[in-house]
Structure 1
Amino acid sequence: MNFTVMKATQHLIKTKPKPFAFNTKFDDIITFIEDNKYSHFPVVEDGIYLGSIASVDVIPSKTKTVGDYRYALLPYFVRKDAGWFEILEKCAQFDCNLLAVLDEQNKYVGFYSAEDIFPLLNHTPFMKDAGLAIVIQKHYLDYSISEISQIVETNNCKLLGVFVSSTENGMAQITIKASAGNINEIIQTFRRFGYEIVSEHNQDSYLNELKERSAYLDKFLNI
């Protein structure tokens, strides 16, 4: 893994407050949850990471301890050398904003807060570089990343990023970021390859022509 990527994430590992143990009282749990707004909290017993518990599973009680919620332990984590994308991926996968970090010996190191990781996304070319943003759609089995890349590059643009932003009812919705170029030519090429354009663009000659025809028809019908 690239050292700069590791350095960009490892300095964000939090070691305080310390992880919870089975004998931690409810008051300590609720203080952590309310002060930090974390979705989960890590549990370690005798230096061994046991998992994380969702804050919503904690029921107000003056007598309960973390051990009373052991049934709710979720054993998800990332390694110490995880990159920012893997961290965000795990946060999305487990619907959490706190992610425990383990070393190569599976010892608890600390945790990542999603709030600290998200800003790293803003420094990627996909987010910070000026360019064209297009959302296209095609059947999940029919789209091709290599085809998408070829369409963008044959129109004299560089692909800055592409990701599948939605998969519903057998359709894949794909968000594309490309360097500045003739967006109309790119859009029309995607249509020729069977892609539906989901996003709206002022330079889209096809839609502009449809709008002109619709306006002409309305005018004709109102005569």
Structure 2
Amino acid sequence: MIAKELISDDVPEISPSDNGQKASTLMDEFRMTHLPVINGQNQLVGMLSETALFDVDDWDAPVESYKSTLVDFSVKENDHIFTVIKQMGESNSSCIAVVSEKQQFIGSISIYHLMKIISQLALFQDHGGILELEMNIIDYSLSEIANIVESNNAKILGMYIRNHPDSRKIHVALKINKSDLSAVVQTFERYEYTIAARFYQNNENDDLQNRYENLMNYLNI
């Protein structure tokens, strides 16, 4: 999935001739921290931030009069969704502009639309359990992790890696296509993996709970 496929219609743009009052009103209405400023040649002049508006003395003055406050961040139309997420996170913005290879403005991506797209990925939609492994960076082996999961007749639906406060370690989160991951956990522990977190339904515990409830019902008869 690339940037031009993520463009949404919930980010208004303004022109250099629009004033600060209009920009502020649009930001409030569309819940945006930034707005793209587009000139008559359909080029991105920059992104106007709400914090820049706080320092404006004359809200009737055109945006072009405080052009120096505009920030420059955008993605190319063929950039991957991972690049979009990274750029939007680094800019700390609720939206990001999409431009062509010739710097022509194509549209914008809002954080709200992006989160909706991400939530529809199989990683989040498909049923299953989640395990988070903690390991040294040098011990990370995707093939070994996959083999352990698949040896229990399960599949990895998705994964991500995040840094650990100890720079020598990482956390590897796995979404697996089984609700009960007890057997998978046992195999990881047999290979001396550290399970940092686990989120799944334990069928054995459910069975014990059902037996307990049946016993209580019997005793109450």
Same structural fold, with TM-score higher than 0.5 when normalized by the shorter chain: yes
Please say if 1:90 is aligned against 2:87. Answer: yes
Letter in 2 for 1:169: D
TM-score (norm: length of structure 2): 0.74
Query: Once the 2 structures are TM-superposed, how far is the Cα of residue 191 of structure 1 from its aligned partner?
Result: 2.8
TM-score relative to the length of structure 1: 0.74
Distance 2:104 2:32 in 1: 22
| Pick aligned residue for 1:198 from 196, 199, 202 | 196
Q: Residue type matched to 1:39 in 2?
A: T
**Alignment check: 8 A CA contact 2:11 2:109 kept:** no
1:9 is the counterpart of 2:5 = yes
- 2:19 maps to 1:25: yes
**1:109 corresponds to:** 106
* Cα 1:98–1:180 shift into 2, 3 Å: same
CA distance in 2, matches of 1:71, 1:8: 28
1:127 paired with 2:124, answer yes
What does 1:127-166 correspond to in 2, within 5 Å?
127-166=124-163
* Residue 129 (structure 1) shift: 0.9
Tell me if structure 2 keeps the 8 A contact 1:20–1:44. yes
Aligned mates of 1:74, 1:142 — CA distance in 2 = 41
Alpha-carbon distance in 2 for matches of 1:8, 1:44: 17
Task: After TM superposition, give the deviation of residue 6 of structure 1 in Å.
Answer: 5.8
1:143-202 CA-to-partner distances (Å, cap 9, x unmatched) read 233332222122221110000144322231221101117622221332344432122467
Greater relative contact order (Cα < 8 A, sep 6+): 2
Further displaced range: 196-205 or 68-77 = 196-205
* Alignment partners' CA distance in 2, 1:145 and 1:57: 45
Q: How many residues align?
A: 199
What's the secondary structure of 1:62's corresponding residue? coil
Query: Which sections of structure 1, spanning at least 5 residues, go unmatched?
Result: 206-223
**What's 1:57 paired with?**
52
Contact 2:11 2:95 in 1 (8 A): no
Q: Matches of 2:126 and 2:10 in 1, distance apart?
A: 34
Q: Please give the secondary structure, in 2, of the residue aligned with 1:157.
A: coil
CA contact (8 A) 2:161 2:170 kept: yes
Summarize the Cα distance change of 1:142–1:69 in structure 2 as closer, same or farther, 3 Å threshold.
farther
Over aligned residues, Cα RMSD in angstroms? 3.1
Q: Does the CA-based 8 Å contact 1:58-1:69 persist in structure 2? A: no
1:118 is the counterpart of 2:112: no
CA shift in 2, pair 1:69/1:150, >3 Å? farther
Quick check: 169-178 or 62-71, which moved more?
Answer: 62-71
Paired letter, 2:128: G
